[in-house]
Amino acid sequence: MTTKTSTYQQLREHLHELKLVAAAEGLPATLDKASSEDLTHIEFLKNLLDIEVGASRQRRHDSLERFARLPGPWHVDDFDFDAQPGVDPKQIRELETLRFVEDATNVLFVGPPGVGKTMLATALARSSIDAGYRTFYTTAAELAAKCHKASIEGRWATTMRFYAGPRLLIVDELGYLPMKAEAASALFQVISQRYLKGSIILTTNIGIGAGWGQVFDDPTIAAAMLDRLLHRCVVCQIDGPSYRMRSYQAHADRLRQTPT
């Protein structure tokens, strides 16, 4: 009995020393299950390691999720395709397979406010995290501000390396604010260094072409950016109604119908 106890204790200590904490905690229950169900040694060991592997995957997922800083909880399944006939469900389902991430294709969501650009970009980012890809969300304005600060503080190269790192980078809301020359060149550099290496999902309210020249104040840099972005790119143009206005409309209709 004493030997049994001490072997058990030693096993627990080994598991802790190897930092297999989840397996150590799951040991008593896994042992009980093995003896009550008369499991083989192999089955017992597999059950024990399942616990540790599960915990390790969960930790990695949580860490990817924290790193990505997604702005919302949306999944592709939450998107109401009927409400947005401008979006092709087949195209979004295809993007959800993440083949575009594997071959460093970009995705561009173009359309007016409220049509679901951020929601779709975030939902694809979530699939990417679930698949284990390092993913990062930023807005164009935040990227510009970070790069500006980095250049003042002498951290330009580190910051550029940071934006080159994730397998998938989401740059949301390009075009809502005009971009000064410095911001435009930061974005250009981010796009250039990811070119054919890592995907970008970019959302914008400005139509491809003439509009870009105006936002960037410099048609040459705008053209160079578009050239790289569009070379390998899926463009999803959303021209339908605003979902925000739709819920506002429904709310207004309800208020109107409420007897006073």
Q: Which range in 45-53, 109-117, 175-183, 185-193 contacts ligand ADP by CB under 6 A?
A: 109-117
What angle do the packed helices 41-68 and 21-36 form, to 10 degrees?
Answer: 150
Cα dihedral 254→243→178→229 (10° resolution) = 180
Q: How far, in Å, CA of 148 to CA of 156, rounded?
A: 9
Helix, coil or strand: residue 79: coil
Per-residue x/- track, 145-184, ligand ADP (CB under 6 A): ----------------------------------------
| 118 sits near ligand ADP (criterion: CB under 6 A) | yes
Do residues 44 and 34 touch, judged by C-beta distance below 8 A?
A: yes
- The residue from 24, 30, 47, 114 that contacts ligand ADP (CB under 6 A) is 114
The footprint of ligand ADP on residues 211-230 (CB under 6 A) is: none
Q: Which range in 25-33, 98-106, 110-118, 157-165 contacts ligand ADP by CB under 6 A?
A: 110-118
Number of residues binding to Mg ion, judged by CB under 5 A: 1
From Mg ion, ligand ADP, none, which one binds at residue 140 (CB under 5 to 8 Å depending on kind)? none
Q: How far, in Å, CA of 83 to CA of 179, rounded?
A: 32
Closer residue to ligand ADP in complex, CB, 115/143: 115
| 84 sits near Mg ion (criterion: CB under 5 A) | no
Q: How far, in Å, CA of 81 to CA of 100, rounded?
A: 21
The footprint of Mg ion on residues 92-121 (CB under 5 A) is: 118
From ligand ADP, Mg ion, none, which one binds at residue 195 (CB under 5 to 8 Å depending on kind)? none
In 3D space, the residue among 210, 203, 215 whose CA is nearest the CA of residue 177 turns out to be 215
| 113 sits near ligand ADP (criterion: CB under 6 A) | yes
| 84 sits near ligand ADP (criterion: CB under 6 A) | yes
Amino acid at 176: Y
Helix, strand, coil distribution of the chain in percent, nearest 5? 60, 10, 30
Q: How far, in Å, CA of 115 to CA of 40, rounded?
A: 56
From ligand ADP, Mg ion, none, which one binds at residue 136 (CB under 5 to 8 Å depending on kind)? none
| 123 sits near ligand ADP (criterion: CB under 6 A) | no
| 204 sits near ligand ADP (criterion: CB under 6 A) | no
Do residues 188 and 194 touch, judged by C-beta distance below 8 A?
A: no
Which residues bind to ligand ADP, rule: CB under 6 A?
74, 79-80, 83-84, 111, 113-119, 203, 243-244
